[in-house]
Structure 1
């Protein structure tokens, strides 16, 4: 029976950070034990970052519902929480997904480097705990090699920029001594996450606010920032020098009247960067003295210029993945033949050794040199006889010919170990 590779994931693509954080699996060692004990997976690798929680698994008889049930139990969630958030992939789709991950094509910011380190740490942890095996070890090692090739040959990791990092860069260009300023971030979605990451990377402390304290607190634990009450910021903009607004509110949160009132007690100017779509900062605030306003269209235009200059790198990366994917597929299929090949060579060698001992006893006195010549001869004969059919078995397996695997199992009386 063919061993399948699966991937179950909750990522930023379908779930905002405050939702994604709820799917965290907590202690990896305990999570690994639960998945191995209850889901039919014989191998497992868990990848957890602030942008994704992913389970890679291998098994003959895995159970999707049990994977979901086990995950829900570990996260303290109801199973229906997965309905709008969980994505599944199997076999070739998993290989392509992992190649894109290692190459930086599936990150919030194309070419982001941190994900490669996180993937390497995940597979090393799984190897150390002995929860991954030949299938996942081979898959991850090959994918890391391809990802390294993509990054080196295309330069896709150099100069990566997002709406969030561009907004922070603009703030740096317009505000002196930014580390001494009070920075506020409103929102906990994708754009807010990119701003928070960029602020944190540059060492700028900031406050974070959202509609509920729970969201702000969850966001701060995952990405950074000090949570502040939403209502207090709406009436207290005078407490901040730089305000990043990244929400999905259908109305203006930052109004002309609120900023006008803030300036009555504030003795310095304020920079406001609106990353919301639709906009949630009233453009009229730009008319107020001391206010510098940048909106999402202006910021996005600068990011687009950067991305247009990098489109060739992205295309080159995708071409390399397209070229490497069939090679990886063949490698993974070939693994199906290896247990039979190893078993056949082991059985053949056992027979060879047994018959060799009989021959030595029948030949009588032989010196060590003579014994060595005879032993090497028997090894060579056995290997030459078995190499051709075993290599043909491997080739057929690479092409997905499962009938040959089944036939070889019967011919050589091979019984595959179950999970």
Structure 2
């Protein structure tokens, strides 16, 4: 049975951060359950980062309306919200999109390394939850290998600037002598680690905090910074000059009241960089005098300049992807015949074993060595006879020859035994 691969996504390319965050799934386990139960998808993988929310799915008959309806239900959205934000790719277009993702071509920062790890994590989670199957497992495994090859061959990741580095660059542009300022980083996840890495590289001291002090301490030991109790950090905003917020909290950590209170006892301003998705800095904070709030939308403007300087590398990466796409297509088409091949070999082997037992009974053979030799002989005969037609069937499937597939399905009565 043919299975179609579909990709439905909302990314920074069409949606600003305040819109993108509305499409996120607060509970991934629940989201997977809902999509497998209500969307008509037989397999699915969810990829969720600060710049994108994507669903890769596989079904014998894809129903986009069911997918959108399920997504809207899980995220708490009106279905018409998708109209201006959702992008859809199917079949080869979905394969190409995933390869561009793993190669770093579809990232906010071209060549960024983090997305490859995020794709690996997404398929690992899907496998653990038994949400992915042969189709998506094969596709993601190949995409990860090809993405790694592209990066090694083109050096696209070399010289690329991370989102964390972009954020620190922005801070340097908006604050005089960043080294002399008191800096606080809220968060201990991937985005926070990128900020910490960039600050550390510049020899800039900073404080770091999270909900769990032990986590802050562990983060400081590996990524840098001085750990601070969360309650102390939140109540001590008045002493902070630059605040980086990079968490996955589903609520506002930096509220209007907290910042307003902090500003009452200080004369100079504060810069707040919100790298979270969903955002964790209250929109109202930007209305407070002497407060500057920046988020991923501002970072995207810097990315445009970075992109123009890397077009030659991008072209080389795209050429490799174009070479690999036919190979990926062939592998995905081949999956269509594997159940037939497996069942044919299984059925024939059952006949072989049955007839072998009858022959051994008729011969009255009891010698274990002779029985093993005869058994191996019958296996070899079956494999020699069946391997060529089955391999030809695989090749025909890779080439898109549906007629041979239909003929074999009919010959071996495969459908009636599904």
TM bracket (short chain): 0.7 to 0.9
Counterpart of 1:413 in 2: which secondary structure? coil
Counterpart position of 1:240? 269
Structure 2 CA distance, aligned partners of 1:313 and 1:218?
A: 30
CA contact (8 A) 2:3 2:336 kept: yes
Q: Deviation of residue 156 (structure 1)? A: 1.1
Q: Distance in 2 between matches of 1:276 and 1:32?
A: 29
Query: Which residue matches 2:240?
Result: none
Structure 1 108/178 Cα, relative in aligned 2: closer, same or farther at 3 Å? farther
Other structure's SS at 2:310 match:
helix
1:243 CA displacement: 8.1
User: How many angstroms apart in 2 are the aligned matches of 1:271 and 1:22?
Assistant: 23
Which residue is equivalent to 1:93?
A: 93
Q: Give the secondary-structure state (helix, strand or coil) at the position aligned to 2:97.
A: helix
Q: Distance in 1 between matches of 2:109 and 2:251?
A: 15
Give the corresponding residue for 1:177: 179
- Once residues 84 and 163 of structure 2 are traced to their aligned partners in structure 1, the CA distance between those partners, rounded to angstroms, is 26
**Structure 1 partner of 2:102:** 102
Equivalent positions of 1:119-138 (< 5 A) are: 119-138=119-138
Aligned to 2:404: 404
Between the aligned partners of 1:343 and 1:85, the Cα distance in structure 2 is 44
Q: Which residue of 2 aligns with 1:337?
A: 337
What's the CA shift string for 1:360-381, capped at 9, x where partnerless?
A: 0111234222212211111111
Name which of 245, 251, 254 aligns with 1:226. Answer: 254
Q: Count residues in correspondence.
A: 356
Q: How well do the aligned residues superpose, as a CA RMSD in angstroms? A: 4.0
Structure 2: give runs of 5+ residues left out of the alignment: 186-190, 200-205, 209-244, 275-285
Q: Which residue of 2 aligns with 1:82?
A: 82
| Alpha-carbon distance change, 72 to 197 in structure 1, aligned in 2, over 3 angstroms | farther
Structure with higher Rg: it is 1
**TM-aligned CA deviation for residue 239 of structure 1:** 2.9
1:17 aligns to what? 17
Mark the CA change 1:198 to 1:127 in structure 2 (over 3 Å): closer, same or farther: closer
Instruction: Say if 1:24 and 1:48, in contact at 8 Å, map to a contact too.
Output: yes
Check conservation: 2:163, 2:194, Cα contact below 8 A.
no
Unmatched 5+ residue regions in structure 1? 184-194, 207-216, 246-253, 263-269, 278-295
Alpha-carbon displacement from aligned partner over 1:324-374 (angstroms, at most 9, x marks no partner):
111101100110010000000101111110111111011123422221221
Q: Tell me what 1:72 maps to.
A: 72
Q: Aligned equivalents of 1:48 and 1:417: distance in 2?
A: 39
- Report the equivalent of 1:113: 113
SS at match of 2:387: helix
> Which residue in 2 is equivalent to 1:358?
358
Q: Which moved more, 1:37-46 or 1:308-317?
A: 308-317
* Other structure's SS at 1:36 match: helix
| 1:385 aligned residue | 385
Distance 1:238 1:108, change over 3 A: farther
How does the TM-score come out when normalised to structure 2? Answer: 0.73
Sort the Cα spacing of 1:416 and 1:45 in 2 relative to 1 into closer, same or farther, 3 A.
farther
Length-normalised TM-score, structure 1: 0.73
2:61 counterpart residue number: 61
SS where residue 226 of structure 1 aligns?
A: coil
Q: 1:196 to 1:343 in 2, by over 3 A?
A: closer
**Compared CA separation, residues 182 and 370, structure 1 to 2 (3 A):** closer
Kindly provide the CA deviation profile for residues 221-261 of structure 1, in whole angstroms up to 9, marking residues without a partner as x: 479983548x979x99953266889xxxxxxxx9xxx99xx
- 1:179 deviates by 4.5
Name the SS of the counterpart of 1:21 in structure 2. helix
**Distance in 2, Cα, partners of 1:163 & 1:339:** 44
How far apart are residue 160 of structure 1 and its match? 1.0
Q: Which residue of 2 aligns with 1:52?
A: 52
